[in-house]
């Protein structure tokens, strides 16, 4: 019995030894290089678009919001009353100086002129008779055949009729003018507005409302205001260059720009706003500018050479101010604080912070942090270059 128990214990010990040996073999196999465990994938770089910061010559400019004004505005009114019998243009039509616009019935004025001329002829005939009488009375007075009173009376009558001739001549001239006023002509080149009277209406002389308003829009003004601190520089540039270029374009439509020159500086600063009014004159032959329209105004003072510029979309805003992401040679990015100036034609002037040879990120900044790996997109738009 003792021998049998010894045999069973010996068998259990052998099984345990074999199990332990198997575990050891598995462990040694794993440590000595079994099948490789797949490594975690390396994340790709953040896709971005980039561009180079460059040094170039840019214009020094001032910006404002302006209002387009007609070069000249005339409200056409009649100087005589009567029936309007002719309108010789259409609303909104371009008219020229001296063009016939309206005709008022001339018949009453023709009759008035005929009567004035008849009165003049009658007075002239009476004056001739009075002059002859005065000469006769003078001869009789010299031979003492007439009294001094009779002689003076004859001279007075002749003088009064001469004055009546002058009055009648003035009446004729007035009647001629009134007849001319029945034909109303355009006083300037421009574009007609709304027509307030039509043929058949009765026209009042010098009525409150004009018959039509004509705006001269070739050339045309653009009025705008700038802070008074800019006035000394503007005056200095005018003394040097004699003229300053003014560019105007509708908001968000830079391709529709018009070019003119600064022609007016107001003689006082508005004390409530601290600004001064200016006007630019534009040829406006293409009629891009229209009275009453709001436009973006740019005044070019001078050219700034050797100025660092980057695409406007490269400049970001943070709590500490403006900054850009710069791509390092190892394809990581870092931030650089910059002082951004004016933006012109999609490019922002960098007053400080860049040397002009850096590669900056222009798209994809939302996914970047300092030190992040980046990957340059292919097929970049013009003005943006990829780096490898």
φ and ψ at residue 386, rounded to 5 degrees: -85, 150
Question: What CATH number belongs to 48-56+306-376?
Answer: 2.40.420.20
Q: What is the pLDDT of residues 188-236, one digit of tens each?
A: 999 999 999 999 999 999 999 999 999 999 999 999 999 999 999 999 9
What pLDDT score was predicted for residue 2?
Answer: 41
What pLDDT score was predicted for residue 333?
Answer: 94
Question: In CATH, what class is 62-70+217-304?
Answer: mainly beta
- Below-70 pLDDT ranges, the chain: 1-43, 378-388
CB 276 within 8 A of CB 270: yes
CATH number 3.10.290.10 given to 107-180: no
What pLDDT score was predicted for residue 35?
Answer: 54
What pLDDT score was predicted for residue 134?
Answer: 87
Question: What CATH number belongs to 78-102+184-209?
Answer: 2.40.50.100
- DSSP states of 56-68: EEEEEEEEEEEEE
Question: Distance (Å, rounded) from C-alpha 180 to C-alpha 26?
Answer: 124
Buried b (16+ CB within 10 A) or exposed e, 173-200: eebeebbebbebebbebbbbbebebeee
What pLDDT score was predicted for residue 61?
Answer: 86
What pLDDT score was predicted for residue 188?
Answer: 95
Residue spans of the domains in the chain: they are 48-56+306-376, 62-70+217-304, 78-102+184-209, 107-180
Contacts of 332 (CB under 8 A, 6+ apart): 371, 372, 373, 374
Q: What is the CA radius of gyration of the chain?
A: 48
Question: Distance (Å, rounded) from C-alpha 131 to C-alpha 388?
Answer: 113
φ and ψ at residue 175, rounded to 5 degrees: -65, -40
CB 49 within 8 A of CB 363: yes
Question: Distance (Å, rounded) from C-alpha 88 to C-alpha 94?
Answer: 12
**3-class SS at 238?**
helix
What pLDDT score was predicted for residue 246?
Answer: 95
Question: Distance (Å, rounded) from C-alpha 80 to C-alpha 26?
Answer: 122
Q: What is the pLDDT of residues 26-66, one digit of tens each?
A: 444 444 444 555 555 555 789 999 999 999 998 888 999 99
8-state DSSP, 9? H
- Cβ atoms within 10 A of the Cβ of 324, count? 26
This prediction has a pTM of 0.66
What pLDDT score was predicted for residue 359?
Answer: 93
């Amino acid at each position: 019995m003792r021998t049998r128990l010894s045999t069973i214990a010996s068998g259990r010990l052998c099984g345990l030894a074999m199990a332990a040996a198997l575990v050891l073999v598995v462990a040694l196999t794993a440590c000595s290089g079994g099948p490789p465990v797949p490594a975690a994938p390396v994340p790709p770089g953040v896709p971005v678009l980039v561009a180079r910061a460059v040094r170039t010559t840019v214009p020094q400019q001032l910006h404002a919001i302006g209002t387009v004004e007609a070069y000249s505005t005339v409200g056409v009114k009649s100087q005589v009353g009567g029936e309007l019998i002719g309108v010789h243009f259409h609303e909104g039509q371009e008219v020229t100086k001296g063009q016939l616009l309206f005709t008022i019935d001339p018949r009453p004025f023709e009759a008035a002129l005929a009567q004035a001329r008849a009165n003049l002829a009658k007075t002239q005939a009476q004056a001739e008779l009075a002059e002859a009488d005065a000469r006769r009375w003078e001869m009789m007075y010299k031979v003492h055949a007439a009294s001094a009173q009779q002689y003076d009376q004859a001279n007075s009558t002749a003088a009064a009729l001469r004055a009546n001739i002058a009055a009648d001549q003035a009446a004729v001239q007035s009647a001629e003018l009134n007849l001319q006023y029945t034909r109303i002509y355009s006083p300037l080149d421009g574009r007609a507005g709304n027509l307030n009277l039509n043929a058949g209406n009765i026209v009042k002389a010098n009525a409150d409302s004009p018959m039509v308003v004509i705006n001269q829009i070739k050339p045309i003004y653009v009025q705008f205001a700038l802070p008074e601190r800019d006035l000394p520089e503007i005056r200095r540039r005018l003394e040097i260059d004699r003229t300053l270029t003014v560019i105007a374009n509708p908001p968000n439509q830079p391709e529709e720009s018009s070019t003119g020159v600064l022609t007016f500086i107001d003689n006082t600063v508005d004390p409530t706003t601290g600004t001064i009014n200016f006007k630019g004159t534009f040829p406006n032959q293409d009629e891009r500018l229209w009275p009453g329209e709001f436009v973006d105004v740019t005044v070019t003072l001078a050219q700034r050479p050797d100025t660092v510029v980057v695409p406007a979309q490269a400049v970001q805003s943070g709590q500490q101010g403006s900054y850009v992401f710069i791509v390092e040679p190892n394809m990581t990015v870092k931030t650089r604080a910059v002082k951004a100036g004016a933006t012109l034609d999609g490019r922002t002037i960098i007053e400080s912070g860049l040397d002009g040879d850096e590669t900056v990120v222009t798209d994809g900044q939302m996914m970047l942090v300092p030190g992040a790996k980046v990957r340059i997109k292919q097929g970049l738009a013009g003005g943006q270059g990829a780096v490898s």
